[in-house]
Amino acid sequence: MSDAYAQPTTEADRAIPGPLAGYTTLRMGGPAGRIVAVTSADEIIRAVQASDEPILVLAGGSNVVIGDAGFPGTVVLVRSRGLRVLTEDAESVTVRVEAGEPWDDLVAATIGNGWAGLECLSGIPGSTGATPIQNVGAYGQEVAETITGVEVYDRLDGTRRIVPAAECGFAYRGSIFKYQDRWVVLSVDFRLTRSPLSGPVRYAELARALGVEVGERVLLADARATVLRLRAGKGMVLDAADPDTRSVGSFFTNPVLDRATYEQLLERSAGLGEPPAWPGADGLVKVSAAWLIDKAGFTKGHPGEGGVAISSKHTLALTNRSGTASTSDLLTLASTIRDTVHARLGVTLHPEPVLINCAL
């Protein structure tokens, strides 16, 4: 994927402070103290080591909300690229991908090579290095299923090492790397299956769109094309001409409730229909945040102040519809949605993106 909103690396990136809005898919964010563009893992490490001020590591800018005051320290723009095969056999291939590699470019390359495992993650904006941080997932796949290790620079002890997947703490939209700045992701290793067919289709919406039953397999190219079509219909594929895509995708995660809280939700939502839900282990139930938002009175296109709005295509996306809205306007709308959902339905929504120099 070519990041439609990230500016190209230039010499100006290396020294001149400026607004960070141009480096985020929301098109929001105030000035940086300094911006440094890096194009390799070694350069990433040197940039981090050289700074004696706060550092923000930024790549595709697709899952971050930066405050109107910007970031007072050094912003390290990760622009490393590349993929290489580490090991391969008749059934699988393990590849190492640089952190700055645009994610959808990687997905397209794996499909072109007949490697299955990432096809349902087509069209997701951002960089490869960001995917393990929040365990990116969509349409029944998560990167945790194919990641074998994450190469990091550990700022605490100054070492460079591979963190095995088992030590990454992968969970629903989370990992040990999220909400802290100890580890800087340098590259990611994926083990993919040699196959012209996708993995078993797990997501009912995708299965219906493909015209197959849940659990069936389809051609990799068909899976990708259908996922891209579904995402585009929800404003979840970057398009500079579509203001609904000036967002971070899903702003809230689907809440995971214990059984008692879920039963309370059913009582409070009586008459609204049963919320879409997915049972999990230990009696936990994941419910649809989009459904909660809609039933709390916030429908598609709902406007906020200053030019922000809920996407006209999907209630989970909050958009900079005007292109000139402020981060404070966005967070005001998000706070109103969160507080109203809690007051009416008893469920607390949590933001999915990382908030930088701002709070919800």
The tens digit of pLDDT for each residue in 247-271 reads 999 999 999 999 999 999 999 999 9
Non-local (6+) Cβ contacts of 124 within 8 A are 1, 62, 103, 104, 107, 136, 138, 231, 236, 249
Single pTM value for the model: 0.88
What's the whole-number mean pLDDT along residues 184-188?
A: 97
- pLDDT > 60? residue 113: yes
Instruction: Kindly indicate the confidence band of residue 167, based on its pLDDT and cuts at 50, 70 and 90.
Output: very high
Q: What is the mean pLDDT of residues 130-141?
A: 95
Q: What is the band of 10 on the pLDDT scale with cuts at 50, 70, 90?
A: very low
Concerning whether 216 is annotated as a catalytic residue, the answer is: no
> Residue 201: pLDDT above 50?
yes
From the list 62, 127, 250, 326, the catalytic residue is 250
Q: Given this model, what pLDDT does residue 240 score?
A: 87
Instruction: Report the pLDDT averaged over residues 332-345.
Output: 98
Beta strands at 183-194 and 83-88: parallel, antiparallel or unpaired: unpaired
- Is residue 220 scored above 90 in pLDDT? yes
pLDDT of residue 221: 98
The catalytically annotated residue of 101, 119, 142, 352 is 352
Instruction: Decide if pLDDT at 136 tops 90.
Output: yes
Whether the predicted pLDDT of 2 surpasses 60 = no
Mean pLDDT is lowest, of 15-19, 36-40, 93-97, 102-106, for: 15-19
**Position 339 confidence tier, pLDDT thresholds 50, 70, 90:** very high
Over range 202-207, report the average pLDDT: 95
The C-alpha atoms of residue 238 and residue 219 are separated, in whole angstroms, by 24
Structural contact between residues 120 and 139, judged by C-beta atoms closer than 8 angstroms: yes
**What's residue 18's pLDDT?**
59
pLDDT band at 280 (very low <50, low <70, confident <90, very high): confident
Active site residue 173: yes
Q: Say yes or no to pLDDT of 183 above 70.
A: yes
Confidence of residue 19 (pLDDT cuts 50, 70, 90): confident
CA dihedral 229, 235, 239, 243 (to 10 degrees): 160
What are 52-94's pLDDT values in tens digits?
A: 889 999 999 999 999 999 999 999 999 999 999 999 999 999 9
CA distances, 198 to each of 1, 86, 160, 337 (Å): 20, 22, 34, 37
261: part of which helix (H) or strand (E)? helix 259-268
pLDDT of the residue at 74: 93
The confidence band for 16, taking pLDDT boundaries of 50, 70 and 90, is very low
Is residue 250 part of the annotated active site? The answer reads: yes
Residue 29 is predicted with a pLDDT of 95
d(CA 226, CA 232): 10
Mean pLDDT of the chain: 92
pLDDT over 90 (residue 1): no
**Catalytic pick among 173, 224, 231, 246:** 173
Both tokens of 44, joined, read 């990433």
120 and 198 in contact (C-beta within 8 Å)? Answer: yes
